[in-house]
Copies of this chain bind each other. A is one copy, B any other.
Amino acid sequence: VNPDEYRASLADGRRVFYDGELVTDVATHPKFRVAVDNVAAGYGDGERGLNSADAYKFPASSDELRARMESLTGWEPTLLMTLESLLALGTTASRMPADEAFAKYRSRIDGFVEFCKQHDRRCVPTISDAKGHRALSPAQQADPDLYTRIVEHHADGIVIRGAKLHISGAAVAHELLVMPTKRMKPGEEQWAVACAVPVGSPGVTIMNAVPLPPADEWEYHPNSSHGGLPEGFVVFDDVFVPNERVFLAGEVEHSATFAHSMGLWQRLGGAAHMAEGADRLVGLARLLAEANGVEKIPHIREKIADMIIYATLVRSGLEAAIENAVITPEGFATPDELYTNVAKYYGALNRDRMLTFIHDIAGGAILTAPLPGDLANPETRAYVDKYMPTRPGIDGEYRTRLFHAARDLTVSSAAGHHQVAMIMSGGGLFAQKLVATMHYDLAHAKQLALKAARLDPPGKG
């Protein structure tokens, strides 16, 4: 598959909306074009050195897993999601019971992974349901569709209805991997559904929000003008899914495995991105300090040192998660749950302070530096050249554009969007804390404390 074939593949009848308007050509629409170009670049073999094949290969050891994590921070996001999704399907299959009942699902998952590999398909996970009244179960909701469900069973497939929220990249990908949003209970069989749905399937509708700067301010936003992955609100209006793409249909006891497996890989990916992003923020802070000529002032050094410690702690957790990976019976390396969740949690909770430090180091010019047009107009450019330089080597244009970048990376709507995405990816803060707690060896910790207390465990004898 080459970039143009990818672009062409989007004309599959998909029903995409932006701000109430039906988007007739995703590949060229101003709000989607940048994202499409990014995905297309992932099919090429140019400077970004992407290798789609990696997205379909499961790591077999800690070393392979580390190599994958190091490369993926350079991937475009749908390729990353494809890898995460398929790894999550693989993890799910390995966690399913060995008995006959699940053999068909395991086999279908294998087949689907192979299909995606053969056709270089981009896949996105779709998990979060509308949920309605949080205190009520799916069956108790005013509308049973508030959790995505099977509305019809046929000999050759099922029909599903519902909505899945916060689906990054849905409008520019090929496959929607539908998974239950939570553990279902007996009696909730209709909501225990996992399957793969092509984006262009009849009945699929996607509303979108797009974190792209205004078209006339792209030069002012040197980073986010190259991003803008659409966030989809995906509706399934009685969509037929053939059997070979159905991975769960009523087995409530296994309904949570998909989301848990997905969460693990998303959090690992999130931690990897936060580690890289944290290094980027450290670098940005240091460039700003140097451009302002304050990099030797003690409180500036302390702030950058605190950022370094943050960045290194996130990476530590990532390293520990990889080093302590578990090899599944199927032979692929799954990161350690405890370290993965702790790294993600710590990184997500504390990223805000990195932004505050950058703002404090940058100073007001992060908001008030002259605009690109001021650089272009000689009348105003003269003031930039006169008043924005600091010391030798730091000229007015460089410093001005560095402030633009800092603003774009930490102040702009796209920066705000990224900050929220880092917090929410793989579930919010509490979910990460909860999973971390579940995987901590509390019995060992209590044993250490009892030993220091020189006490026997209570309730013995």
* A positions within 8 Å CB-CB of B: 17-21, 128, 130-135, 142-143, 145-146, 163, 165-167, 205, 207, 209, 211, 214, 222-223, 231-233, 235, 276, 279-284, 286-287, 290-294, 298-299, 301-302, 304-306, 308-309, 311-313, 315-317, 319-320, 323-324, 338-339, 342-343, 345-346, 349, 351-353, 355-356, 359-360, 363-377, 379-380, 383, 386-395, 398, 401-402, 404-407, 409-413, 415-417, 419-421, 423-424, 428-430, 433-434, 436-437, 440-442, 444-450, 452-455, 458-459
Supplied contacts A133-B391, A359-B424, 15 more A-B pairs, CB within 8 Å = A17-B377, A20-B375, A20-B380, A134-B293, A165-B368, A166-B364, A209-B368, A223-B452, A233-B368, A233-B383, A279-B445, A312-B342, A323-B323, A360-B429, A411-B416
Smallest beta-carbon distance A449→chain B, Å? 3
Q: Are A448 and B276 in contact (CB under 8 A)?
A: yes
**Known contacts A356-B352, A405-B453, A440-B308; is A130 also within 8 Å of B19 by CB?**
no
> Could you tell me the distance between the alpha carbons of A343 and B429 in the complex, rounded to whole angstroms?
22
> Could you tell me the distance between the alpha carbons of A18 and B359 in the complex, rounded to whole angstroms?
23
Interface SS of chain A: helix
Q: Are B367 and A343 in contact (CB under 8 A)?
A: no
A371 CB contact (under 8 Å) in B207, B306, B406, B430: B207
Residue of B with least CB distance to A134:
B293
**Known contacts A398-B458, A448-B280; is A313 also within 8 Å of B317 by CB?**
yes
Smallest beta-carbon distance A44→chain B, Å? 18
Contacts of A359 in B (CB 8 A): 419-420, 423-424
Q: Are A308 and B436 in contact (CB under 8 A)?
A: yes
Smallest beta-carbon distance A24→chain B, Å? 14
Contacts of A311 in B (CB 8 A): 440, 445
> Could you tell me the distance between the alpha carbons of A20 and B377 in the complex, rounded to whole angstroms?
5
Contacts of A371 in B (CB 8 A): 18-20, 207, 209
Contacts of A356 in B (CB 8 A): 349, 351-352, 423
Q: Are B349 and A424 in contact (CB under 8 A)?
A: no
Contacts of A452 in B (CB 8 A): 222-223, 280, 284, 405, 409
Contacts of A395 in B (CB 8 A): 458
**Known contacts A312-B342, A313-B317; is A363 also within 8 Å of B424 by CB?**
yes
Smallest beta-carbon distance A335→chain B, Å? 12
A370 CB contact (under 8 Å) in B207, B299, B353, B413: B207
Contacts of A417 in B (CB 8 A): 367, 411
A133 CB contact (under 8 Å) in B232, B304, B390, B424: B390
Q: Are A448 and B283 in contact (CB under 8 A)?
A: yes
